[in-house]
C-alpha cells in the first residue's frame, strides 16, 4: 500500500509513551482548515501527480491549527481517497486529532480517519526497512512482553542492533509498530518499548514471539485485563 505523507517528524520517538496535559488551540482554526479543504478538494484529488506540492499545501493549512500534526493520503480505491489525520504518536495531540476528524464535513469521494490505522500483518510483512547496513525484516523480528504493575511493556528483538545504531533502529521500529498496532494502540496500550539484539541461544529464542503476532497479543492482553 502506498502512502503520501506530510510533516513526518524525523526526531526519534520517545520509548516511553505517557499521558499529557490539556491542549490549547482555537476551535475556529479547525473550521478554517475544513473550509479551505472543501474549496480545494477537487485540486487535491490530483495529489499523485505532485505529492510534495499538494501535501505541502495541506501541511501549511493544518499547521495553522497546531504544529506537529501530520496528514496522510492513500491512493484512491473505487473512487474514494482515504485521508488520515495523525498526531505523530504525540499523546498531547490526540484529542485535537479527534476534534479535527469529528468536525470534518461530508465530502464526496473522501473518507477521513483519526490516527494511522492498523495494517494487516500480511502487508506489514513486506515492509522491510533499511537502517544503514541493517535491514529490519518484520518476518524475522520477535517480541517479548513484560507486564509490570498491570502495564504492558514490549521488547522488540532484531538482528544487528548495537549501541551505535540503537536510536535509528528504534525510530524505524516505531514505523513498523505504528503500522502493525495502529498509532493509537501503539501509543496508549503499550507503556514502554525497548529494542534489543536477537539472542543466539535456542532456549532464549523459544521464549520469544513472532513480531507479526504482536497485534493479536495486545488485543488478547486487554481483553483479558478488562474481563
Q: For 76-85, what is each residue's pLDDT tens digit?
A: 999 999 999 9
* Residue 160: closest CA among 184, 193, 137, 183: 137
Instruction: Please report the pLDDT score of residue 23 as a whole number.
Output: 55
pLDDT at 194 over 50: yes
pLDDT at 15 over 80: no
Asked if residue 6 has pLDDT above 90, the reply is: no
pTM of the entire structure?
Answer: 0.81
Is the pLDDT reported for residue 8 higher than 50? no
What band does 202 get if pLDDT is binned at 50, 70 and 90? confident
Helix residue ranges, H only, the chain: 27-44, 51-63, 94-102, 121-124, 166-181, 183-188, 202-206, 214-226
Question: How confident is the model over 95-101, as a mean pLDDT?
Answer: 97
Alpha-carbon gap, residue 54 to 138, rounded angstroms: 31
What is d(CA 141, CA 125) in angstroms, rounded to the nearest whole number? 10
- For residues 205 and 142, the answer to whether their CB atoms sit within 8 Å is yes
Give the span between the Cα atoms of 134 and 99, in whole angstroms.
Answer: 39
Q: Whose grid coordinates read 535491514?
A: 135
Spatial CA neighbour of 17 closest among 221, 172, 185, 163: 185
Which is more confidently placed, 125 or 22?
125
User: 100: closest CA among 73, 69, 128?
Assistant: 69
- Per-residue model confidence as pLDDT tens digits over 21-74: 445 556 699 999 999 999 999 999 999 999 989 989 999 999 999 999 999 999
Rounded distance between C-alpha atoms, residue 35 and residue 57, angstroms: 14
The answer to whether 66 touches 25, Cβ cutoff 8 Å, is yes
Q: Which residues contact 96 (CB under 8 A, 6 or more apart)?
A: 23, 25, 65, 66, 69, 87
d(CA 12, CA 26): 29
- Torsional sign, CA 73, 74, 75, 78: negative
Amino acid at each position: 500500500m502506498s502512502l503520501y505523507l506530510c510533516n513526518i517528524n524525523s526526531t526519534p520517538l520517545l520509548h516511553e509513551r505517557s499521558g499529557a496535559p490539556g491542549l490549547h488551540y482555537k476551535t475556529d482554526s479547525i473550521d478554517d482548515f475544513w473550509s479551505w479543504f472543501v474549496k480545494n478538494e477537487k485540486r487535491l484529488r490530483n495529489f499523485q501527480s505532485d505529492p510534495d506540492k499538494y501535501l505541502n499545501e495541506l501541511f501549511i493549512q493544518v499547521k495553522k491549527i497546531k504544529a506537529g500534526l501530520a496528514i496522510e493520503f492513500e491512493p484512491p480505491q473505487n473512487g474514494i481517497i482515504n485521508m488520515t489525520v495523525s498526531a505523530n504518536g504525540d499523546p498531547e495531540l490526540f484529542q485535537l486529532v479527534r476534534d479535527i476528524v469529528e468536525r470534518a464535513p461530508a465530502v464526496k469521494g473522501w473518507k477521513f480517519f483519526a490516527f494511522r490505522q492498523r495494517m494487516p500483518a500480511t502487508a506489514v510483512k513486506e515492509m522491510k526497512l533499511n537502517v544503514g547496513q541493517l535491514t529490519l525484516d518484520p518476518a524475522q523480528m520477535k517480541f517479548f512482553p513484560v507486564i509490570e504493575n498491570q502495564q504492558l511493556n514490549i521488547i522488540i528483538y532484531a538482528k544487528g542492533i548495537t549501541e551505535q545504531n540503537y536510536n535509528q533502529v528504534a525510530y524505524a521500529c516505531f514505523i513498523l509498530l505504528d503500522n502493525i498496532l495502529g498509532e493509537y494502540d501503539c501509543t496508549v496500550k503499550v507503556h514502554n518499548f525497548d529494542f534489543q539484539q536477537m539472542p543466539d541461544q535456542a532456549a532464549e529464542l523459544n521464549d520469544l514471539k513472532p513480531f507479526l503476532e504482536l497485534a493479536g497479543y495486545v488485543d488478547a492482553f486487554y481483553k483479558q485485563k478488562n474481563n
